[in-house]
Structure 1
Amino acid sequence: MSRKVRSFYIGALAVTGVGLLGMSFVPKAHADAWDKMTIVTVNEPIIAGNKVLDPGTYVWKLLDSPSDRHVVQIFDKDQQHLQETILAIPNYRLQPTGHTQFSFWETPAGVPKAVRAWFYPGDNFGQEFAYPKKLVAQLASAAPVPVPTNYREPEPAPAPQPAPAPEPQAQPTPAPEPQPQAQANTTVAQVPTQPQSLP
């Protein structure tokens, strides 16, 4: 191979390598905006979905699904363990802010704060959390507005119904005996057996 061809191949290989290396960083820069990844540190217990999160650091992000952008996943700080998955409801605000914003439901004394909504920086839409009916009853006692619920409590199994009592069956009554019919005087007309000519 000539020196010219060899330097062309080396140059093309170097450009391809740099291009692939540059492309490997693009999804990482896009991932935070796509999945709305937010690192949250809490210093007191909070309720998110159906779980009480203890004080610590958590990673909140949307499920990587193009069809449903309202499924929130909460991971531990290393993203090794999924703590909670929550089906959220769209929530809107008029003015977006430049920082992550959380709002909380008012709760009775002794009950951890319950996350109401999560807004990502720059968005005018966010995720509103719904809660189980038992918790909704507690929150409703302190909240001036209705708390949404989307969790369905398992319905209790219906109590077995006793078998219906058989209805008394009517005894068949014997059919009346046929009465002999009186024969009426009838005359039988003779039908001609030969065809007649038509007019």
Structure 2
Amino acid sequence: MLNTRSHMPLTGHWHLYYIELQKCLKQISSSSEKKKKFLETPLEQWAYFLAKPQDNQKPLEPALKENQGIMEVYDMLQTFTKEDSLREQYRLREEFLRAQRTEALEYQRMIEKYQNALKDKKDVQKQWEAEKKERERERREKETAFREREQEKKEKEAAFKQMEEFKYNSILKLKQQEISLENIAEILSIPMEEIRLLLNE
């Protein structure tokens, strides 16, 4: 196989082979001749070894014994499945790994729960602060409105007092000119009762 640019051989590259194990096993099992012919190369031997379930009680097939790698794996499986201590170690390790994964997931859930609770707390805090600002704004508006009403009341009282003083002074000046109260009431357009009240008569 050549490089499309340099046209040099692609050395040091992997070659990938895709084999459907079940179809491969079905074709080999149809006849011993096909099986013998198929198991001539290491690739086909590995395909057959992986496709066919291996019985540890039976010896490895002669055609596969020629493959050193398969023999090593087979011996390893034999040792592993025959020794109770190794099986127990494997079981304990699997339980340990499973417990670790469970704890990791539980820890992750706790972290997410804490982060969600923290986010909810921040949202509640923001809402509370917003409501507090709104209440403070309403309080300031009420205080401003109250002060404005008080100021308006004071201004009205001052204007009323000033008007009363003006009426009183006007009545006194007219009275000093010996003008009767009836004429003063007519001149100032003030009822007689109000004139007497101002003069304390």
Larger Rg: 2
TM-score by length of 2: 0.24
Whose helix fraction is larger, Structure 1's or Structure 2's? Answer: 2
TM-score by length of 1: 0.24
